[in-house]
Structure 1
Amino acid sequence: MGDGRTGKDGDRRLGRRALIVGGAAAAVGTAALARDELSHLWWRLPGVEKPRVEGAVDFRGARWVAASPANLRRADRPDDYVIDRVIIHVTQGGYRSAVRAFQNAGHGAAAHYIVRRDGGVTQMIRELDVAFHAGNRAYNERSVGIEHEGFVEDASSFTDAMYEASARLTAAICGRYGMAVDREHVIGHVQVPGTDHTDPGPHWDWGRYMGLVRRARTARA
């Protein structure tokens, strides 16, 4: 047993110790946050350039046509940003007009892929880079965007060949990043917070599409 003075000294020592421990924990947390932020800022440093293989694609069979660098942000995903979404879009136009738009530096937007009516797949941005396609920065950073040739109001835009090719592409993306094949991880542009887009629209058959994605995912597995 100690007297009151010893108890107060003990309380003071415990208080100082708590401050030291708390300060150390805060420092560790701050260092972790700083490290995370530096990983996101890495691409902004002058002269930094991650090696790229010209014309390389992430999906076998895709054709490479580069988008304007103004419509994307260089990154090192999934190391700097986790990829946990596939976002389905519709071009509201033909394939060639979509390619021209994504190659236009003033357009301000582009998706990683375009799927044509005939099932052809074109990749315009590497999956490791952030494409400006969702109209929401956080969703851009964490997603892969797939455009589909056609119009939301025209059901005939969405052909069998398109559904099947797109499903194989989405299944490959889900497998590559360990995503579940469900409507939480495969979403329409209309579901992105803050967007004013309605694609893929009422004629996109989600039930059919997700069934094809699951079948393709099982086949790949």
Structure 2
Amino acid sequence: MGSESSGADQSDGSSRRVGRRAVLLGGGAAVIGAAVLARDELARAWWRLPGMEKKRVEGELDHRAAEWTSAARANWRRADRPDDYRIDRVVIHVVQGSYATALKVFKNPGHGAATHYVVRKDGHVAQMIRELDVAFHAGNRDMNERSIGIEHEGFVHRPQDFTAAMYAGSARLTADICARHGIPVDREHIIGHVEVEGTDHTDPGPHWDWDRYMKLVREASRTRV
């Protein structure tokens, strides 16, 4: 599965990012290890104070064309993006299985990973995690915090799994995400799981047609109402 074993919300990059934050969090002293991470997370938790967190509605959709079906709570982290973490990437995954399989494992709290969205071969989209929350999908803490993950039904070695309907439905979803978060529609900001630093995954694989997909995303961006 494209997101399997990606649930560890960790990365080598996180320690570098923490170091940069420590300068802002300050006091002039260099703080290392767990104390720095704890202080960093505390600084980002201002939105948890009474009256600060965005209002949430059970089952509310970010992408209006999607169907809501929630991932297990253990497979994502509550946040308040983009107020606490900016969102500037969309990560494309392939399930290595069926749509039903993706939903099943993402609902399993023991799986440890899930994406925000799952796209079926007919283009139908399920939303499983709110975009303001951090999904454990990329296997890299920094990328998890800054990105939205989209899983696609199918297998990386079967080009026939990537149907026209799937490409079109996914492209509309990505165009909508990019428009709402101000993400540039280009290959620097719309990436494959394989392109995430430190990953051991290969999805979406050699048969994912990036030229076709990006053309569809750009077209959907122009026609988005």
Q: How far apart, in 2, do the equivalents of 1:208 and 1:88 lie?
A: 14
The alignment status of 1:187 with 2:183, answered yes or no, reads: no
Question: For 1:29-40, what aligned pairs fall within 5 Å after superposition?
Answer: 30=26, 37-40=41-44
Q: What is the 5 A alignment of 1:64-103?
A: 64-103=68-107
Deviation at 1:220, TM superposition (A): 1.7
Partner residue, 1:205: 209
* TM-score of the superposed pair, with normalisation by structure 2: 0.79
Distance between the aligned counterparts of 2:56 and 2:48, measured in 1? 17
* AA matched with 2:56: R
Partner-residue secondary structure (3-state), 2:26: helix
Q: Tell me what 1:59 maps to.
A: 63
Q: How far apart are residue 132 of structure 1 and its match?
A: 0.1
Q: Following the alignment from structure 1 to structure 2, what is the Cα–Cα distance between the partners of residues 60 and 37?
A: 31
202 and 74 in structure 1: CA distance in 2 versus 1, 3 angstrom threshold: same
> Aligned partners of 2:157 and 2:24: how far apart in 1?
53
Tell me if the contact between 2:76 and 2:136 (Cα under 8 Å) persists in the aligned partners: yes
Of residues 35-44 and 51-60 in structure 1, the stretch that sits farther from structure 2 once superposed is 35-44
Percent pairwise identity: 67
Deviation at 1:52, TM superposition (A): 1.9
Which residue is equivalent to 1:174?
A: 178
- Report how many residues are paired: 193
2:219 and 2:171 mapped to 1: Cα distance? 9
Amino acid at match of 2:181: Y
Distance 2:180 2:153 in 1: 24
Task: Tell me which residue corresponds to 1:7.
Answer: none
Unaligned runs of 5+ in 2: 1-22, 28-35
Q: CA deviation at 1:37?
A: 4.8
Tell me, in whole angstroms, the C-alpha distance in 2 between the residues paired with 1:184 and 1:28.
28
Instruction: Flag the structure with more relative contact order, 1 or 2, with Cα contacts below 8 A and sequence separation at least 6.
Output: 2
Using the alignment, how far apart are the partners of 2:218 and 2:44 within structure 1? 33
One-letter code aligned to 2:118: I
Report the alpha carbon displacement of residue 179 of structure 1 after superposing the two structures with TM.
1.0
RMSD between aligned alpha carbons? 2.5
Q: 1:51: how far off?
A: 3.7
* Counterparts of 1:182 and 1:164, CA distance in 2: 17
- Deviation string 1:59-107 (CA, Å, 9 cap, x unpaired) is 0120000000100000000000000000000000001111010000000
